[in-house]
Amino acid sequence: MSRQLFGNNQQTNGFKELHGLQCIAPLVQTVEETPEPIPARVKGTIPTWIKGSLLRNGPGKFEFGNQHYNHWFDGMALMHRFQIMDGQVTYRSRFLRSDSYNQNSERNRIMVSEFGTLAFPDPCKNIFQRFLSRFEKIKPTDNASVSFIKYKGDYYVSTETNFMHKVDAETLETKQKVDWSKFIAVNGATAHPHIDPDGTAYNMGNSYDQKGVLYNIISVPPAKEGPNDTLKGAKVLCSISPTDRTRPSYYHSFAMSENYVVFIEQPIKMNLLKMATCKLRGKNFNSGIYWDPNQETVFHLVNKQTGMVSPVKYHTKALSTFHQINAFEEAGFLMVDMCCSDDGQAINTFLIQNLRKSGEALDKVYNSLARTFPRRFVLPLNITSDTPLDQNLNTRPNSSATAVCHSKDKVFCTFEDLHSDDLLDYGGLEFPHIHYNRFNTKPYRYFYGCGFRHLVGDSLIKMDLDGKKLKVWYQPGLYPSEPVFVPSPDATEEDDGVIFTQYTKIPKLDRSTFLLVLDARTFEELGRAEVPVNIPYGFHGTFQSAEN
């Protein structure tokens, strides 16, 4: 383990401004797929009790012909599988054969619009046809590049539109395109569902009508009704109206406790008129997304059993969040732990041209971003007309969070940090992960994530909530993916297990990518499995046990 940091820095607005950042352009370059498994070279020891596969997803192709994507989120989905068995590892990858990928490949040009890239009219059409095409409605992409998820025992890759794809988790072959809107009245769903112990999955998705948008809480039953079943039985538990139905909030995920789904309505806003007319205006889809720091963030609570939306709304200052850590109920309070930032403009900063910059231009992009930190909100659940006003209702010991009731249906909250000042030295924390199967929706002690002293993660961090202590794994020129915790088969403690992450070296050399295995308790390296292929920096993944 190394904790040496690189780059010159100076203090700016409470954060360390970095200079001399390494160019990470190789992390966002097109690569070839590796459809047949290849052996990895193992260094150290990978425990033989690990039997399964790390499945990961992310962009892997950033252009077709002479047309290039603009945004990191636009690249074509490339699925990865590191299979671990008897201390040995093999690797394979495949591009998702989505309709978007197939149409683009067939014409060798970008035919389907993505989040930050507008598909231009076909040059083979005449001038009048190209003019008329600007009035056509943009079809949602099925480029499911965000994550691997599981419904009813089957694996899917997902994005945030109404389309996802069932895939073969062994071969990574694309099996079936599934449309949420064929089962329930939603126009999309997140790539971050939550799973109850009985296997019921919960998710969120928007629906649109003439009045604007509704946020919908979705449930999917755990069991299949037949071999070809996908989302049959899915239902909308309830719908939540945005503060402004024509300018709803963007959300990437949500939180869940034992009894509640927690939706965080943040002031990253979507201008529906701009989005609906982006093709006519010749603008990208993301041009309709903006940050409004003058609006508060609102927590909405939905009872999972009844589908009832709590009339009490929990407000806090403007902040943005992409990933929640955990949520649990205890002694009349609901704790919501999440990674959040005081600014929400980052989503439009992750342009490929920014990620490929070097020198002072790269430093400027990084230093313009607000850092993301783990924080806890404490929401009092038993608000009634008799609840005292204008005093802190948080009576939890050793908690600096506040919750002040302003009326019978509004509580204003402030957070407490889930870290000490030493996390500032590592650029904050994102891509959080916990011992999910045993501790999601329950009190817990540890979480893991990436430190961000760059535009992508550049260190691995283990946070201990007992004392808010951290452990760090860092080596210069190595960039880790989201950490995934896998418990040991005889685990008795919360951190009995290993951490998996995929690392990429810069400059890229032979075997520049490797699967790293850390002892989750000590955060020391156990072993690594090097593969002779380049893998771009991706988003999310999961561990598939060989026993499931």
For residue 165, say whether it is annotated as part of any ligand binding site: no
Q: Which residues pair with 407 in a beta bridge?
A: 410
Q: Which two tokens stand for residue 541?
A: 């993944």
- Range list of β-strands (E), 86-192: 88-95, 147-151, 154-158, 163-167, 174-179
Number of H helices, E strands in the chain: 7, 39
Q: What are phi and psi of 359, to 5 degrees?
A: 65, -145
For residue 323, say whether it is annotated as part of any ligand binding site: yes
Q: Which two tokens stand for residue 302?
A: 């939905």
DSSP labels for 57-105? EEEEE-EETTEE--BGGGSEEEEEEEEEETTEEEEEEEE---HHHHHHH
Q: Which two tokens stand for residue 358?
A: 């070097």
For residue 252, say whether it is annotated as part of any ligand binding site: yes
Q: Which two tokens stand for residue 248?
A: 């709803």
User: For tokens 């490797």, what's the residue?
Assistant: 514
Nearest to 499 by CA among 442, 440, 544, 434: 434
Position 205, amino acid: G
State how far the Cα of 528 lies from the Cα of 186, in Å rounded to an integer: 42
Q: How buried is residue 75: exposed, middle or buried, by Cβ count under 10 Å (0-12/13-18/19+)?
A: buried
Q: What are phi and psi of 355, to 5 degrees?
A: -65, -20
For residue 300, say whether it is annotated as part of any ligand binding site: no
Residues 296 and 261: beta-carbon distance below 8 Å: no
* Binding site residue list for Fe cation: 192, 252, 323, 540
* Binding site residue list: 192, 252, 323, 540
